[in-house]
């Protein structure tokens, strides 16, 4: 009897174990059959999200257009990375302290107040005619039918206009100055790409993408002063990753959001946040180290996808600084998400130099790391002349070396000042000038992009030293 009872007990135990195994296998099979966009019931951050999707990580990575190892690293190490209920990757940036939000005065630009978002401040374009757009939206927007609405369970959301004086129906000159400076800084960050950074609202069809054959599209970066989303996260901004060129559900993952309650109302902070959030849209992840999620930079330099609020020079990066945790090639990633480098406007040698007239400035962009722009100048009268090359006046990214060449291409004079910053919003030493006593004849001016110091810990290389410039020569 005892033997029979023991055998029965073993048989029952075996049935329990087998049944448990069957249930476990059944659960795994069910999980494998669950659509990727239904794996999560709610947004989850970092390692929590990774734990939930680990068994299907390769599929989730493909769903986000990322290599599996990269998504694993992002979720495992970046606390600001989230997967939403559809397993789409987005970032929630931390907000700043009250002291860090303190705005600096913007350069005076606007002349009169405006009763609506019209006039020069709302007609700014960095590259009109491009079929790619980054729209900086300051005047409010209705968000409806998007992932943001779904995550909050609120639809529609009517976002208020940017306002610093308590009068949202009127745009003061100071508010317009901020709009202008934010645009100028973001336009410089994206100057190397074939994209129009604008404050003039485009048709929605110019932002949305209906399919692979639709080649005119972009993103809206909404400057949001309200609390509908921000109060729940205390964050400075949110944006989905790699959705800029999506051929399906393009509008569902729009817009990128910058919260004034998280980063403040000053132009420098708003611009850094706007470029950063748009950077996520075009596929970029955060630049940090093994110990911090966002690298704050060194000297006068910081990466745009780290924290650029406190440095005069912020550039795109490939992780050349010490202990970098992200060595992705920013330019290559952005290029793979719809933003090609803009075409070169001046030749690289004296043989294909562009023409420059004494007294009439020219403008251009150093877009590729190995780009050099050469201009031919014909001097008709002997005398002293000065040539000046200037980087963008707000948030310049390009550090310039300027050479004056004679008709044979030999260097007559050269200048490359040391770069730095006078404060967090003002870089120094990015421009260059050369002077000389010239006889009548043909001369050439050559603009090169240069680095400064050691990119490991004191400066930057030529990689991110690209951007817009103006060049002029005049009697001195």
The tokens 């087998």 sit on which residue? 18
Q: Are 177 and 107 in contact (CB under 8 A)?
A: yes
- Cα(464)–Cα(451) distance, rounded to whole angstroms? 8
pLDDT of residue 132: 98
Taking residues 231-251, report their average pLDDT.
Answer: 96
Q: Three-state DSSP class for 247?
A: coil
Q: Are 432 and 417 in contact (CB under 8 A)?
A: yes
pLDDT of residue 412: 96
Taking residues 274-300, report their average pLDDT.
Answer: 97
pLDDT category of residue 246 using cuts at 50, 70 and 90: very high
Taking residues 47-68, report their average pLDDT.
Answer: 96
- Cα(258)–Cα(223) distance, rounded to whole angstroms? 5
| Mean pLDDT of the chain, nearest integer | 92
Name the least confident of 109-113, 220-224, 420-424.
Answer: 109-113
More confident residue, 17 or 335: 335
Taking residues 466-473, report their average pLDDT.
Answer: 98
The tokens 């933003």 sit on which residue? 339
The tokens describing 443, both together, are 């001369």
Whether the pLDDT of residue 316 is over 70: the answer is yes
The per-residue b/e assignment along 241-265, b for 16 or more CB within 10 angstroms, e otherwise, is bbbbbbeeebbbbbbbbbbbbbbbb
Whether the pLDDT of residue 3 is over 80: the answer is no
Q: Three-state DSSP class for 77?
A: helix
pLDDT category of residue 6 using cuts at 50, 70 and 90: very low
Query: What separation, in Å, do the N-terminal and C-terminal C-alpha atoms of the chain show?
Result: 116
Share of the chain above pLDDT 90, in %: 88
Structural domains in the chain, CATH included, are: 88-283 (no CATH), 354-475 (2.60.120.380)
CB count in 10 Å sphere of residue 156: 12
Whether the pLDDT of residue 62 is over 70: the answer is yes
- Cα(476)–Cα(461) distance, rounded to whole angstroms? 33
pLDDT tens for each residue of 338-373: 999 999 989 999 999 999 999 999 999 999 999 999
Whether the pLDDT of residue 335 is over 60: the answer is yes
pLDDT category of residue 23 using cuts at 50, 70 and 90: very low
Taking residues 95-123, report their average pLDDT.
Answer: 89
pLDDT of residue 27: 44
pLDDT of residue 37: 85
Q: What is the pTM of this model?
A: 0.92
pLDDT tens for each residue of 139-172: 999 999 999 999 999 999 999 999 999 998 899 9
Whether the pLDDT of residue 32 is over 90: the answer is no
Q: Are 188 and 395 in contact (CB under 8 A)?
A: yes
Contacts of 412 (CB under 8 A, 6+ apart): 404, 405, 406, 434, 436, 443
Concatenated DSSP letters of 15-69: HHHHHHHHHHHHHHHHHHHS-GGGS-SS-EEHHHHHHHHGGGHHHHHHHTT--HH
Taking residues 11-23, report their average pLDDT.
Answer: 36
pLDDT of residue 21: 38
The tokens describing 451, both together, are 């680095």
Name the least confident of 30-39, 222-231, 389-398.
Answer: 30-39
Whether the pLDDT of residue 2 is over 80: the answer is no
Whether the pLDDT of residue 11 is over 90: the answer is no
- Cα(396)–Cα(203) distance, rounded to whole angstroms? 30
């Amino acid at each position: 009897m005892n033997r029979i009872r023991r055998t029965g007990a073993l048989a029952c135990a075996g049935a329990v174990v087998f049944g448990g195994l069957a249930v476990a296998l059944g659960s795994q099979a069910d999980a494998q059959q669950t659509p990727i966009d239904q794996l999560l019931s709610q947004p989850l951050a970092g390692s929590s999200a990774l734990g939930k999707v680990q068994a299907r990580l390769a599929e989730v990575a493909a769903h986000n257009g990322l290599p599996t190892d990269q998504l694993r690293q992002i979720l495992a190490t970046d606390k600001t990375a989230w997967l939403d209920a559809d397993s789409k990757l987005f970032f929630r940036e931390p907000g700043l302290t009250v002291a860090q939000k303190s705005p600096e005065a913007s350069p005076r630009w606007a002349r009169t107040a405006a009763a609506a978002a019209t006039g020069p401040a709302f007609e700014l374009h960095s590259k009109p005619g491009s079929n790619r757009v980054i729209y900086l939206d300051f005047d409010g927007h209705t968000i409806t039918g998007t992932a943001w609405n779904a995550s909050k369970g609120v639809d529609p959301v009517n976002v208020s206009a940017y306002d610093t004086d308590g009068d949202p129906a009127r745009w003061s000159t100071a508010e317009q100055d901020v709009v202008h400076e934010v645009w100028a800084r973001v336009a410089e960050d994206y100057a190397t790409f074939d994209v129009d950074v604008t404050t003039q609202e485009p048709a929605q069809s110019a932002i949305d993408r209906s399919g692979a054959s639709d080649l005119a599209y972009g993103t809206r970066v909404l400057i949001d002063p309200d609390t509908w989303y921000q109060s729940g996260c205390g964050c400075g901004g949110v944006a989905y990753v790699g959705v800029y060129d999506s051929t399906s559900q393009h509008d569902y993952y729009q817009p990128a959001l910058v919260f004034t309650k998280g980063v403040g109302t000053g132009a420098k902070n708003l611009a850094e946040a706007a470029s950063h959030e748009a950077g996520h849209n075009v596929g970029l992840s955060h630049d940090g180290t093994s110990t911090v999620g966002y690298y704050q930079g060194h000297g006068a330099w910081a990466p745009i996808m780290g924290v650029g609020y406190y440095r005069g020079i912020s550039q795109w990066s490939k992780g050349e600084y010490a202990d970098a945790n992200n060595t992705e090639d920013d330019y290559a990633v952005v290029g793979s998400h719809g933003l090609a480098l803009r075409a070169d406007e001046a030749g690289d040698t004296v043989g294909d130099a562009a023409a420059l007239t004494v007294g009439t400035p020219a403008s251009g962009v150093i877009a590729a790391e190995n780009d050099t722009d050469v201009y031919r100048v014909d001097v008709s009268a002997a005398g002293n002349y000065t040539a000046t090359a200037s980087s963008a006046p707000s948030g310049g990214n390009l550090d310039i070396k300027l050479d004056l060449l004679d008709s044979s291409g030999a260097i007559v004079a050269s200048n490359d000042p040391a770069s730095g910053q006078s404060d967090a919003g003002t870089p120094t030493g990015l421009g260059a000038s050369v002077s000389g006593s010239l006889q009548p004849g043909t001369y050439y001016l050559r603009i090169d992009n240069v680095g400064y110091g050691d990119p490991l810990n004191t400066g930057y290389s030529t990689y991110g030293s690209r951007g817009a410039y103006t060049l002029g020569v005049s009697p001195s």
